[in-house]
Structure 1
């Protein structure tokens, strides 16, 4: 942004009292934050779109904290396991999130902002006025320029106008937007699209599924004995599979296991073969992996040329649970 760009007033920082808990801080309030530049980011720890923004947000926090910036995360859970305070804590700690996080299990803060997105950034000036917002990923340069502008307006002297240097890797690496041809794909019936097993999904009851002989792009199927729930699809007998025809550099899948079931082994194939050099962080070259904690698992990261591929995951144990495919 340029010096002549205007930042209009979009509203005021609402009360944050609806948070059910706070991490790394006591409860924060608009009154207590007066005089500070604040950015509020809505997140949920299994969300790939949020994960890819995290290196930038952490870098802003480190660079501008001493200039008067306060970063606040608002963790509004998408899936049931993301309500658990200890799971939130254990997920965020290794990510290096040490700024205040409001645990928003009742979506009270979400509603107070009238928010609708993961991730979403709101930029608040020292008078408590919302001056800018951004939904989704990218636009990092403009976001940082807004921070610099608000800090300067607040009287911070000698704000460094250089932009942070961020070199993310792993799940934090930005999507390859130019080759990405597959959308987020939920496997619970509430938001399922592209399901291709014959006879469709049976809601909330056990069914033995078979996969079609051929999958079209962005279609997926089950094989084996599964129960498809509103958000969670659970394997009832060992050996069940999920197959997906996709187009993208990365394939991720949010996975867990039934309570008390323990770790669940799985094997991934790409076009019927072990993924080898196309493996993601959570499998070996032969495609073997284990579901432990509930989280996003990076299963495929392939080099160019990027083309349509068929992904297959077979679970060796009953109790495996799947939530959503994401791509990058």
Structure 2
């Protein structure tokens, strides 16, 4: 008898039903019988197509060579999917209990939902961001997905040592079932298993650490005039002043779940941040928790407000503080109770596709229900993954809400939501609690594939997996993440238009034309009302960008974070920063200039490691300051040179990775003869020669002594 894939899936479904009625010992017997049956059928899984892009390995893998004799688990995933993120800890448990030496191998098969996810470079960023350390293949055209009739993300498909299909498990929350199946299977096939290692070469070992790593969200701490950044890839929170000088670093930088002082506390892939007058609240996404950063004098400490540290399935809430389980909280915004009396935190609960509320004090909420401080409840969303609008918030539904912004004005007391998986912008009126569409998406609430890149109004506008929103005036700004753009919705007219970005990933900062600027999956936005600025967490560029609405320009905020600052930096100021940088600066040959010229040409050698090359498309930049007591401020760039802040490469040594950077400076008119010491800082972007992976920016510091003569 010839079995089709659908026949096999039917047999697996019958096996699953049988397991549900068996005791633990009976399950083992049933599993062995199932394996014997699948061996007789011997339905072979098709091999990976040749020429596919692979990550975390040094060569393409083959089922008939590298993986022959192993129990293989194919994880069909797409990196936007919250459910796929949720099973990563399960896969880590599999790899810990059943390593290569046990004859088991986990292979990620990336089968994209969004067009942006088909690009290997973007998958590589996700592999780094989520610390995936098993092999991953980009099955760009979903050939294996179709051949095995996979129907949802995530799906795990188990392959036997002879390439035969054994079993499949769909959805999250299946860890116990997977581990039980592997325990019986490894015993059953023990004499046939190939226990050799695979040619693993992790992507994380190819790139250096950076000051910021995949920053997810950003907020303005108005009370302090600070910027708060969720440094997601480094598992910490970074606080800077408005010039980017680091003031606090909260968290060890290692993933974990631990309260305590700022240099002892641990987070796991934190995302949303919100501030009151004295403290910071954090959506600790990987820990499924809500954390609180408290500043008391010179002490900073972290406590947990809600969440158990493990993913929950509760879709109603009602418990208090750490007894209430959460599921991937992704963003936060401060608000008031509906009676206006007490502070609350509104939470984008991406894991259950809902909006929740945490009560910081006793107060009333929807339906005039009173709640005590510490209570955490569902506000809007049924828990179904849909794009359903409704006048009753609990009957509406969302699809992985990931960004929040609040308009506190009485006439428009509204919560705005970036609903990422439906590629839409939604709103909840806090006056009548009605859930509505703002832009993007589709009228059919079950259609989560209505994405694109199109300006327009309402459903006519198209977005692709937006992650961030912020308000300024009557405009709602959107991080249209997978379109690599910043868009703007006029809340008076409903028009959604592109403000900045080319539509393709990159790092170019063009100071004259916003449509020529580039982003790479921007994830978070914040607005500075006074200065008319939009701050952007440009996630895959490991950078914070600043969009000046009045000047219609974009620039990168320099994160001034000296190597000597590793922990909380309460006492750091600009002067100490300059001095710290000067200690590690390289001295350039002295130059002389006549006071009558006031023009100072400089040549700066930029040496990169042999395996790297300069990324000339990236926003390589410079700045100059005085390191002595002359009082000299920044030096102007001559009009005849490149625009201020961008580097011009004069020449390159073809025998090495050394470039000569040209700077042409104009000294102030009031400069006097004497010795002037300049501090030069270059922000350099490089890419690896092998694989082409682009690296986070690297700061290079130089001291230049200038002899000004008469």
TM-score normalised over the length of structure 2? 0.30
Deviation of 1:118 (Å)? 0.8
Q: Is the 8 A contact 1:35 1:126 kept in 2?
A: yes
**1:240-319 map, 5 Å:** 240=476, 255-256=481-482, 257-258=484-485, 259=503, 260-262=517-519, 266-267=525-526, 290-293=536-539
In 1, the alpha carbon distance for the partners of 2:173 and 2:465 equals 29
For 1:228, which of 441, 456, 461 is the aligned residue? 461
In 2, the alpha carbon distance for the partners of 1:129 and 1:264 equals 41
Q: Name the residue aligned to 1:29.
A: 62
2:45 is aligned with 1:13: yes
Deviation of 1:109 (Å)? 1.7
Structure 2 unpaired stretches of 5+ = 1-23, 193-255, 258-266, 269-283, 289-309, 316-351, 353-381, 389-396, 400-425, 440-454, 486-502, 504-516, 528-533, 542-546, 553-710
Alpha carbons of 1:127 and 1:221: their partners in 2 closer, same or farther (altered >3 Å)? same
Map Cα deviations across residues 20-39 of structure 1 (whole Å, 9 max, x no partner). Answer: 21112322223122211111
In 2, the alpha carbon distance for the partners of 1:142 and 1:59 equals 12
In 1, the alpha carbon distance for the partners of 2:427 and 2:69 equals 60
Map Cα deviations across residues 74-129 of structure 1 (whole Å, 9 max, x no partner). Answer: 01111122122122112212422121111011111211221111100011121222
In 1, the alpha carbon distance for the partners of 2:83 and 2:480 equals 13
Q: Is the 8 A contact 1:81 1:294 kept in 2?
A: no
Map Cα deviations across residues 242-293 of structure 1 (whole Å, 9 max, x no partner). Answer: 8xxxxxxxxxx9845323354586359xxxxxxxxxxxxxxxxxxx974423
SS at match of 1:78: coil
For 1:67, which of 91, 95, 102 is the aligned residue? 102
Q: Name the residue aligned to 1:3.
A: 28
Higher relative contact order (CA 8 A, sep 6+): 1
**1:88-167 map, 5 Å:** 88-155=123-190
In 2, the alpha carbon distance for the partners of 1:21 and 1:137 equals 26
SS at match of 2:108: strand
In 2, the alpha carbon distance for the partners of 1:100 and 1:194 equals 32
TM-score normalised over the length of structure 1? 0.60
In 1, the alpha carbon distance for the partners of 2:159 and 2:480 equals 33
Q: Name the residue aligned to 1:49.
A: 83
Alpha carbons of 1:261 and 1:240: their partners in 2 closer, same or farther (altered >3 Å)? farther
Alpha carbons of 1:222 and 1:211: their partners in 2 closer, same or farther (altered >3 Å)? farther
In 1, the alpha carbon distance for the partners of 2:126 and 2:76 equals 16
Q: Is the 8 A contact 1:210 1:222 kept in 2?
A: yes
Paired residues, what number? 243
In 1, the alpha carbon distance for the partners of 2:73 and 2:53 equals 19
Q: Is the 8 A contact 2:464 2:481 kept in 1?
A: no
Structure 1 unpaired stretches of 5+ = 158-165, 188-192, 196-208, 243-252, 269-287, 296-314, 319-328
Deviation of 1:138 (Å)? 0.9
Deviation of 1:230 (Å)? 7.2
Deviation of 1:57 (Å)? 0.3
Alpha carbons of 1:23 and 1:241: their partners in 2 closer, same or farther (altered >3 Å)? closer
Alpha carbons of 1:100 and 1:58: their partners in 2 closer, same or farther (altered >3 Å)? same
In 1, the alpha carbon distance for the partners of 2:49 and 2:463 equals 30
Structure (1 or 2) with the greater strand fraction? 2
2:415 is aligned with 1:182: no
Map Cα deviations across residues 118-177 of structure 1 (whole Å, 9 max, x no partner). Answer: 1000111212222211101012111111111111112169xxxxxxxx999644446532
Alpha carbons of 1:294 and 1:112: their partners in 2 closer, same or farther (altered >3 Å)? farther
In 2, the alpha carbon distance for the partners of 1:70 and 1:145 equals 16
Q: Is the 8 A contact 1:51 1:171 kept in 2?
A: no
The structure with the largest alpha-carbon Rg is 2
Alpha carbons of 1:52 and 1:70: their partners in 2 closer, same or farther (altered >3 Å)? same
In 2, the alpha carbon distance for the partners of 1:264 and 1:97 equals 20
